[in-house]
């Protein structure tokens, strides 16, 4: 059976981008068609300045939201990265396979270095080596497919290169994975800045819809989305990125397509109204299930404990094989 692996970083509250671009697909499609492994990658959450209590809280919240979004522990494996030592064991080996130059070429690294540098704090070395840990996350599970938004596809490309290189040097050990990008809403953009993606790390941004935002907050954020001076609703990513983003969000929430939805709405106000309602409708069951799960913390704890056990059972033999192959 095809094995699928993907992860989510607990560096902030999860967003509509995470949901439409990743979690929804994991729940609706991947867990049913494949042997799917989903991980809250808390170690990756330490690559930038972090607060320990907040990291722990956000890790728990992300795991709870994965379940609320419909991941079923009977169908797939849900766990927290730091609960399974195989990730760090293999990460070191991947650092010995990768080169410094490869790591420095990663777009996310360059972007984040600029951000961290601007804040005046030192850049953590783990930010540079992040893709080695991500490669370990994927390769330790023998994943065939890695569903990710297009912002992560460069890291998956690097993972492929490392897997091929390792296999050539030390003998066939790893499955060479491929990235799969969802067709709809692969990239949800910030409502206030449609040139950049809706990323969770930028807390409390007015352009970011968080999965746990109150309905009136969501409505307000969507109604205040930046558009342009045009009047007619047309789908044009280049010239009208704000409107295109709203149309894509609406399409992702309702199952329509952005072009035909453009012709249905005769003003930006009407489009925003429809988008806000569609987002609320989409998130309502997730929020309701999240409330139920929060009332039963023992259940979430147990799911994560069992998930880590299942994950370890897959990863350990693969990582042991890699250790033997490199002479350890």
Q: Which residues bind ligand ADP (CB under 6 A)?
A: 6, 8-9, 11, 17-18, 21-22, 148-149, 151-152, 186-188, 197-201
Q: How far is the CB of 161 from ligand ADP (least distance, A)?
A: 19
Token pair belonging to 217: 């907050």
Binding residues: 9-11, 17-18, 137, 149-151, 188, 197-201
Q: Which residue lies nearest ligand ADP, judged by its C-beta?
A: 21
What DSSP character marks residue 123?
A: P
Q: How far apart are CA 145 and CA 175, in angstroms?
A: 10
* Among 61, 62, 19, CA closest to 39: 62
Exactly one of 112, 178, 220, 310 is catalytic; name it: 112
Query: Could you give the angle at the alpha carbon of 19 between the alpha carbons of 18 and 23, nearest 5°?
Result: 95
Q: Which two tokens stand for residue 178?
A: 């491929």
Of 46 and 325, the one with the shorter C-beta distance to ligand ADP is: 46
Among 110, 200, 221, 310, the one annotated catalytic: 200
Separation CA 99–CA 96 (nearest Å): 8
Tokens of 146: 């890695």
Would residue 128 be called left, alpha or beta, if left means φ above 0 and alpha means ψ between -120 and 50 degrees? Answer: alpha
Per the residue annotation, which of 110, 178, 197, 221 is the catalytic one? Answer: 197
Q: Is 78 in a helix, a strand, or coil?
A: strand
* Closer Cβ to ligand ADP, 173 or 200, answer by number: 200
Q: Could you tell me which residues are annotated as the binding site for ATP?
A: 9-11, 17-18, 149-151, 188, 197-201
**Residue 22, CB-side half-sphere exposure with 13 Å CA sphere:** 29
From the CB of residue 259, how many other CB atoms can be counted at a distance below 10 Å?
Answer: 11
| Closer residue to ligand ADP in complex, CB, 199/242 | 199
Min CB(27)–ligand ADP separation in Å: 13
Distance between CA atoms of residues 145 and 178, nearest Å: 5
Has 197 been annotated as catalytic? yes
Q: How far is CA 163 from CA 123, 154, 315, in A?
A: 27, 14, 15
Residue 90 or 208 with smaller CB distance to ligand ADP: 208
Minimum distance of ligand ADP from residue 199's CB (angstroms): 4
Instruction: Output the smallest distance, CB 68 to ligand ADP, in A.
Output: 15
Looking at the Cβ atoms of 109 and 166, the one nearer to ligand ADP is 109
In whole angstroms, how far apart are CA 253 and each of 219, 247, 275, 280, 286?
15, 10, 8, 9, 13
Q: Give the shortest CB-163-to-ligand ADP separation in angstroms.
A: 19
Active site includes 200? yes
Indicate if 178 belongs to the active site.
no
Active site residues: 112, 197, 200
């Amino acid at each position: 059976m095809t094995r699928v692996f993907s992860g989510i970083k607990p560096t902030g509250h999860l967003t509509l981008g995470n949901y439409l671009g990743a979690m929804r697909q994991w729940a609706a499609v991947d867990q049913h068609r494949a042997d799917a492994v989903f991980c809250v990658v808390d170690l990756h959450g330490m690559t930038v300045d972090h607060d320990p209590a907040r990291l722990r809280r956000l890790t728990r919240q992300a795991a709870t939201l994965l379940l609320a979004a419909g991941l079923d522990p009977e169908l797939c494996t849900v766990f927290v990265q730091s609960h399974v030592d195989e990730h760090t064991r293999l990460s070191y080996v991947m650092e010995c396979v990768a080169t410094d130059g490869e790591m420095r070429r990663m777009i996310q690294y360059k972007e984040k270095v600029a951000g961290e540098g601007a804040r005046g704090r030192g850049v953590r070395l783990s930010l540079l080596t992040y893709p080695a840990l991500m490669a370990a996350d994927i390769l330790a599970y023998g994943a065939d497919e890695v569903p990710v938004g297009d912002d992560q596809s460069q890291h998956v490309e690097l993972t492929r290169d490392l897997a091929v290189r390792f296999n050539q040097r030390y003998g066939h050990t790893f499955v060479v994975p491929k990235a799969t990008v969802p067709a709809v809403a692969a990239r949800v953009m910030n409502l206030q800045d449609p040139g950049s993606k809706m990323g969770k790390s930028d807390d409390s941004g007015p352009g970011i819809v968080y999965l746990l935002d109150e309905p009136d907050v969501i409505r307000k954020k969507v109604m205040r989305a930046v558009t342009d001076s045009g009047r007619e609703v047309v789908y044009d990513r280049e010239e009208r990125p704000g409107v295109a983003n709203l149309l894509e969000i609406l399409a992702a929430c309702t199952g329509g397509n952005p072009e035909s939805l453009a012709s249905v709405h005769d003003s930006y106000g009407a489009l925003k109204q429809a988008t806000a309602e569609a987002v609320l409708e989409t998130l309502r069951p997730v929020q309701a299930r999240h409330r139920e799960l929060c009332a039963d913390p023992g259940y979430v704890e147990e799911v994560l404990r069992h998930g880590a056990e299942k994950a370890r059972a897959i990863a350990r033999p693969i990582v042991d094989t890699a250790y033997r192959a490199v002479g350890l």
